[in-house]
Amino acid sequence: MSISLAIIILYILALFAISWYAKKRSESDSEAYALASRKLSAPLIGVTIIGLAVGGASTIGVSEQAFKVGLSAGWYTIAWALGAIVMGLFMAKKYREQNITTISELIERHHDKKAVVLGVICQIIIQLVIISLQYIAGGSILHAIMPDIFDLKTGMLVSAIVFIGITFIGGMWSASLSNVLNIALIYIGMIVATAIQFVKVGGMAGLSTQLPANVPWFSFIDGVGIKNITSWVVTLVTVNLSLQSILQISLGAKDAETAKKGFVWGGIAMLPVGVLAAFLGICAKAMYPNAQAALALPQVIVGLQPLLAGLTLAALWAADVSTACNLLLSAGTLFSQDIYKRFMNPSCSEKKQVTMMRLCVVVTGLLTYGMALGVSSILGTIMIGLSLTAAFSVIVIVALFMPQYSNKAAGFWTLLVGLVVLVLWQLVPAVRILPNVIYAEWLSCIITYAVCYALTSESKVTTEVTEN
């Protein structure tokens, strides 16, 4: 057995051991399973948001992009960090003070049931897209470690089994406690790998001579371009404001101030990760210029000394584990809380609801594995899915900061317009008059909410005049 394989096996065993330990804390009721009984400390909030953000897109996806355009690809993870900081400064406390379990509960307080149902569907769709990408990244890592045993598809399958199993067992406690190990592995592995590869390619001078001359490899802006960077920042700030899996982390905090601190600390701590992943992608281009871009980072790491290679690849896999677990949990929470309990079985026991959450985790995991088989680009796909959160952000900003302008009908129509705009953007090139779909989403959703409010207000005035 190779050293790398042994390390991966030990890592998997450690994750399941943590999950079984967490299982005792998560079985009392649905709140314990979904929100860790609202007892998460600021450090656990911090490592959990880092674990969610620093997944396949922030590591494998960034290196894949850097392999093509250079260091500027690291802005994707920086955008995640900025989003987490904004969430911490402005929204985390507000969410925690609401004492809710899902974003749909907040929507229901200000809008009708149609908005709740459509909101759940849209949130689940978003998270299905992101989860599927973790399988791709996880599969590429296992394929890089053991190409004789795993191809990309079988590596994805093994990743799916581990991701689903860990989440199934321990819920939020499992995801949070596992992230302590995951984040330690990620940072140690990425830093060590970057330092070693930098020396191996001959430092900056050696690296520069081995790269094609027609790409701005070391520019922090030019490769990706200011337009894409701005779009990433806007999208990921938007995501942090309203994605259920992120909201769920803040709701698990022991109090509002803890939620705020955890997100700010986590955002600051994740800033270097994208730069490290991008730099490794550039090293991969120099060392393996003809490699497949998606396999660039794992291929570079496999070339390290066996023990270091195993630890670093385990770190990359840890990034996928941490992201997938949080997303699987939030998707299961949404369905069990907002569909099953609300509409199908309102009188269900806490034990039965936890069972339903676990079942939803399994079904979601299998569905996203199927989706992953048809995905081509990690970053390209994830940005499309995440843009739909603009509709939710409009709704929750009004609900939390301007409740006097809440409108019963506006929630449903805002979500519907957001979904329609996304579909049209993908299918009808003529509508792409703005630089990125996220701008079209924000503009259309703000206008829709405002129109609904105006029409309702006008209707009320007309009714009052008629009655008088």
The CATH number of whichever domain residue 349 belongs to comes to: 1.20.1730.10
Q: Cα separations (Å) of 309 from 49, 182, 198, 208, 321?
A: 26, 16, 15, 24, 18
Is 460 inside a domain boundary?
A: no
What residues are paired with 253 via a beta bridge?
40
State the DSSP H helix or E strand holding residue 32, giving kind and residue range, or none if neither.
helix 30-35
**Is position 421 within any domain?**
no
Instruction: Summarize the confidence of residues 126-149 as an average pLDDT.
Output: 78
Cβ pair 102, 338 in contact under 8 A: yes
**Would you list the DSSP string of 108-162?**
HHHS-HHHHHHHHHHHHHHHHHHHHHHHHHHHHHHHHH-TTT--HHHHHHHHHHH
In a domain, residue 406? The reply is no
CA distances (Å), origin 290, targets 64, 293, 299, 375: 13, 9, 12, 21
- Tell me what pLDDT residue 294 has: 66
Burial of 214: CB neighbours in 10 Å, binned 0-12, 13-18, 19+: exposed
How far, in Å, CA of 137 to CA of 143, rounded?
Answer: 10
Average pLDDT, stretch 35-51? 91
3-state secondary structure at position 208: helix
Mean pLDDT (the chain, rounded): 85
pTM: 0.86
Instruction: Name the band, by pLDDT with cuts 50, 70 and 90, for residue 115.
Output: very high
Q: How many domains does the chain have?
A: 1
> How far apart are alpha carbons 57 and 64 in whole angstroms?
9
Determine, yes or no, domain membership for 106.
yes
Q: Calculate what percentage of the chain has a pLDDT beyond 70.
A: 93
**pLDDT on residue 466:** 46
Q: Give pLDDT tens digits for 291-348.
A: 777 666 667 777 777 787 777 777 777 777 778 888 888 888 888 888 888 888 888 8
Judge whether 146 lies within some domain: yes
Any domain includes 363: yes
Position 464 scores a pLDDT of: 42
The tokens describing 67, both together, are: 């392999």
For 437-448, how does the pLDDT look when each residue is reduced to its tens digit (9 = 90+)?
899 999 999 999
Q: Which residue range is the domain that position 86 belongs to? A: 3-389
Distance between CA atoms of residues 382 and 347, nearest Å: 37
Neighbours of 467 (CB within 10 A): 6
Residue 420, C-beta contacts closer than 8 angstroms, at least 6 positions apart: none
What own/partner pairs with CB < 8 Å and gap ≥ 24 does 363-367 have? Answer: 364/124, 364/127, 364/128, 364/131, 364/328, 364/331, 364/332, 364/335, 365/131, 365/160, 365/163, 365/164, 365/167, 365/328, 366/160, 366/164, 367/128
Give the tens place of pLDDT for each residue, 84-106: 999 999 999 999 998 888 998 99
Q: How far apart are CA 358 and CA 363, in angstroms?
A: 9
What are φ and ψ of residue 253, in 5° steps? -70, 150
Q: Does the pLDDT value for residue 144 go beyond 50?
A: yes
Distance, first Cα to last Cα, the chain: 86
- Determine, yes or no, domain membership for 468: no
What distance in Å separates the CA atoms of residue 77 and residue 54, rounded to the nearest whole number? 7
Distance of alpha carbon 156 from alpha carbon 159, whole angstroms: 5
Of all residues in the chain, the percent with pLDDT exceeding 90 is 32
Give the HSE-up count for residue 86: Cα atoms under 13 Å, Cβ half-sphere: 18
pLDDT band for 156, please (50, 70, 90 cuts). Answer: confident
Point out which residues pair with 422 in neighbouring strands: none
Q: Is residue 92 part of a domain?
A: yes
Judged against a pLDDT cut of 50, whether residue 461 lies above it is answered with: no
* Residue 243 in tokens: 């994605």
pLDDT tens, 194-237? 888 888 888 888 888 899 888 899 999 999 999 999 999 999 99
